[in-house]
């Protein structure tokens, strides 16, 4: 039997970070509100209520499509996708069928350090449904409670081509897309809370065959880990069926985190089952070329290109670049620190290390914290020049982070500047040698580690202000071993 090849395509739904819902004035932010309190006649689907298109949602979708190198047709329209489910108050979802806002793009992502590209079929706009609450998981619960606070929230769908060839590629594709959406400021990337959701189409075919096998849609994967686990399970399940000579049923299956298995939910609908037809309450959308050009000009540097540029431009490691490009604001802060005179590698260490730890603990973003890029640069330069010790600088950074003071000013104010003055250093070296004659003798006899306590004595005598590198060098000179 020919070896089987998985064929995987992802459909990603992203709630857009607009102020209001897709077709009404209700708030798009719905988490934590009392059930069914964030609703109006339009999003409840009451007779006579009319939808109005949210311009910000259209612009966010076009920006995303442009960042994915999609084509933006001049005309677009909304359609009704008809189906019955308790979370859908109108009995149809307003979506886009044959004239979406964009077509034919691609997404670059990395797998094991290798660049891959996956085609993007389309990016279109629709509205979210409400939420159902069950006791436990849906297929075992005796009841469902309906909350329509989420009904009508703008939902952008990014449909990927079936270009992925292994379950391992899927989370990497999704990571790249998620980061792009965060860069664009159109989605918060929160998979656990469901503002970013991913479904997958999975089929198998003999390697080398072009024709696609029967595809199964897998839903309900709310983390990168569960996405890979669900696809691995599903590929295994289908492989097993095919090898036993059985047929794959076209259907929708849900990933059960509890059972670590995909579970059949329903037969898969075909497009005709949804009886799509143009939404009669909304005019077709004409997307002006000037608007497209204007949105294109305002796009941020994409994450992958930003990473390449930072690697190219500064002497920092790939790991550092990864940390510094988590969000575009992180990279902007780093570049500001370097522009203010800090050496790149040290700047990256201080930002990704001590400063980020302080920001995390205080739950504040680096660009909003009390340490400006210029202040961090001053401190880093002082450490690099040996004017202040690393440990003192770390303490001052933490203090300044709290109080809003400038860390460099604290060094001067407190007289904490590191001492490199020759006469003062010589005196401390003399004291240390007098205090620890055994360590001195041991070092001279070849015990390298005996230097530690001597440097320690100097640091202690100086109140941590003695330059430790200089202290070690002076001790070595003084204790020069015969023959060295
Ligand atoms: Zn509403």
Kindly give the distance from the C-alpha atom of residue 30 to the centroid of ligand 1, in angstroms, as a whole number: 11
**Topology of the domain covering 422-478:** Arc Repressor Mutant, subunit A (1.10.10)
Q: Residue 465 and residue 396: Cα distance in Å, rounded?
A: 14
pTM equals 0.77
Kindly give the distance from the C-alpha atom of residue 281 to the centroid of ligand 1, in angstroms, as a whole number: 16
Kindly give the distance from the C-alpha atom of residue 64 to the centroid of ligand 1, in angstroms, as a whole number: 25
pLDDT band at 482 (very low <50, low <70, confident <90, very high): low
Q: What is the DSSP-derived secondary structure letter of residue 353?
A: I
Kindly give the distance from the C-alpha atom of residue 234 to the centroid of ligand 1, in angstroms, as a whole number: 38
Give the residue range(s) of CATH 1.10.10.410 domains in the chain. 422-478
Pairing of strands 79-82, 277-278: antiparallel
- Across the chain, how many H-helices and E-strands are there? 17, 15
The larger pLDDT score, comparing residue 112 to residue 15, is at 15
Average pLDDT, rounded, for the chain: 88
Kindly give the distance from the C-alpha atom of residue 187 to the centroid of ligand 1, in angstroms, as a whole number: 20
Q: Which long-range contacts (CB under 8 A, 24 or more apart) does 306-314 make?
A: 306/331, 310/334, 314/338, 314/344, 314/345, 314/348
Q: What does residue 137 show for φ and ψ, rounded to 5 degrees?
A: -95, 155
Residue-wise pLDDT tens digits, 417-462: 666 677 777 888 888 888 888 888 888 888 888 888 888 888 888 7
* Residue 253 burial (C-beta neighbours within 10 Å; 0-12, 13-18, 19+): buried
The arrangement of strands across the sheet holding 277-278 comes to 92-95, 79-82, 277-278
Element (H, E) at 261: strand 261-267
Helix axes 422-435, 468-478, angle to 10 degrees: 60
Is the confidence at residue 484, as pLDDT, over 60?
A: no
The arrangement of strands across the sheet holding 216-221 comes to 102-111, 114-127, 154-160, 4-15, 196-206, 216-221, 251-256, 261-267
Pairing of strands 261-267, 251-256: antiparallel
Averaged pLDDT, 214-233 = 92
pLDDT band at 6 (very low <50, low <70, confident <90, very high): very high
Kindly give the distance from the C-alpha atom of residue 50 to the centroid of ligand 1, in angstroms, as a whole number: 10
pLDDT band at 466 (very low <50, low <70, confident <90, very high): confident
Kindly give the distance from the C-alpha atom of residue 87 to the centroid of ligand 1, in angstroms, as a whole number: 14
Kindly give the distance from the C-alpha atom of residue 194 to the centroid of ligand 1, in angstroms, as a whole number: 20
Kindly give the distance from the C-alpha atom of residue 42 to the centroid of ligand 1, in angstroms, as a whole number: 5
| Token code pair at residue 364 | 């504040």
| Token code pair at residue 285 | 């959308």
Element (H, E) at 392: helix 390-403
Residue-wise pLDDT tens digits, 121-144: 999 999 999 998 887 776 777 888
Residue-wise pLDDT tens digits, 138-161: 677 788 899 999 999 999 999 999
Kindly give the distance from the C-alpha atom of residue 36 to the centroid of ligand 1, in angstroms, as a whole number: 10
The CA-to-CA distance between both ends of the chain, in Å, stands at 73
Task: Please name every residue paired with 6 in a beta bridge, in sequence order, or none if there are none.
Answer: 204
Kindly give the distance from the C-alpha atom of residue 58 to the centroid of ligand 1, in angstroms, as a whole number: 18
Residue-wise pLDDT tens digits, 258-301: 888 898 887 766 666 888 899 999 999 999 999 999 999 999 98
For 284, residues 6+ apart whose C-beta sits below 8 A from its C-beta are 75, 76, 77, 99
* Residue 321 burial (C-beta neighbours within 10 Å; 0-12, 13-18, 19+): buried
Count other Cβ atoms within 10 Å, centred on residue 455.
18
**Contact predicate 295/61, CB 8 Å:** no
3-class DSSP state of 459: helix
Kindly give the distance from the C-alpha atom of residue 31 to the centroid of ligand 1, in angstroms, as a whole number: 15
Kindly give the distance from the C-alpha atom of residue 48 to the centroid of ligand 1, in angstroms, as a whole number: 13
Kindly give the distance from the C-alpha atom of residue 284 to the centroid of ligand 1, in angstroms, as a whole number: 21
């Amino acid at each position: 039997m020919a070896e089987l090849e998985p064929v995987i395509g992802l459909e990603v739904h992203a709630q857009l970070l607009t102020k209001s819902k897709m077709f009404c004035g209700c708030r798009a932010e719905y988490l934590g509100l009392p059930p069914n309190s964030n609703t109006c006649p339009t999003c409840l689907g009451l007779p006579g209520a009319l939808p109005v298109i949210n311009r910000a949602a259209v612009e966010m979708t076009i920006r995303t499509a442009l960042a994915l190198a999609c084509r933006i047709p001049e005309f677009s329209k909304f359609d009704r996708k008809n189906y019955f489910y308790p979370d859908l108050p109108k009995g149809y979802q307003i979506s886009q069928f044959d004239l979406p806002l964009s077509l034919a793009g691609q997404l670059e992502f990395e797998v094991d350090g290798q660049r891959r590209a996956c085609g993007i079929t389309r990016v279109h706009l629709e509205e979210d449904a409400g939420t159902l609450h069950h006791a436990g998981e849906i297929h075992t619960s005796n009841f469902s409670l309906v909350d329509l606070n989420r009904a009508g929230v703008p939902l952008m769908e990014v449909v990927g081509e079936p270009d992925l060839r292994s379950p391992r590629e899927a989370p990497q594709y999704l990571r790249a897309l998620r980061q792009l959406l965060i860069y664009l400021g159109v989605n918060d990337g929160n998979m656990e809370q469901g503002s970013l959701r991913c479904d997958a189409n999975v089929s198998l075919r003999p390697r080398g065959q072009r024709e696609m096998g029967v595809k199964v849609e897998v839903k309900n994967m709310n983390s990168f880990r569960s996405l890979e686990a669900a696809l691995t399970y599903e590929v295994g399940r289908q492989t097993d069926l095919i090898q036993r000579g059985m047929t794959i049923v076209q259907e929708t299956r849900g990933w059960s985190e509890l059972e670590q298995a995909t579970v059949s939910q329903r037969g898969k609908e075909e497009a005709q089952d949804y009886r799509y037809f143009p939404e009669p309450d909304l005019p077709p959308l004409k997307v002006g070329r000037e608007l497209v050009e204007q949105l294109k000009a305002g796009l941020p540097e994409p994450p992958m290109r930003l990473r390449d540029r930072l690697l190219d431009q500064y002497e920092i490691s790939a790991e550092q670049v990864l940390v510094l490009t988590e969000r575009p604001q992180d990279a902007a802060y780093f570049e500001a620190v370097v522009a203010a005179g800090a050496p790149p590698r040290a700047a990256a260490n201080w930002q990704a290390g001590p400063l980020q730890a302080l920001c995390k603990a205080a739950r504040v973003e680096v660009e909003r914290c009390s340490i400006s890029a210029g202040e961090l640069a001053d401190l880093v330069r002082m450490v690099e020049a040996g004017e202040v010790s690393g440990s003192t600088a770390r303490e001052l950074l933490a203090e300044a982070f709290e109080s809003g003071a400038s860390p460099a000013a604290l060094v001067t104010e407190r007289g904490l500047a590191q001492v490199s003055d020759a006469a003062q250093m010589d005196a401390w070296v003399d004291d240390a040698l007098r205090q620890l004659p055994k360590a001195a003798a041991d070092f001279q006899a070849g015990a390298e580690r005996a230097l530690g306590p001597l440097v320690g004595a100097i640091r202690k005598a100086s109140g941590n202000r003695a330059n430790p590198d200089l202290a070690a060098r002076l001790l070595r000179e003084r204790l020069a071993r015969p023959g060295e």
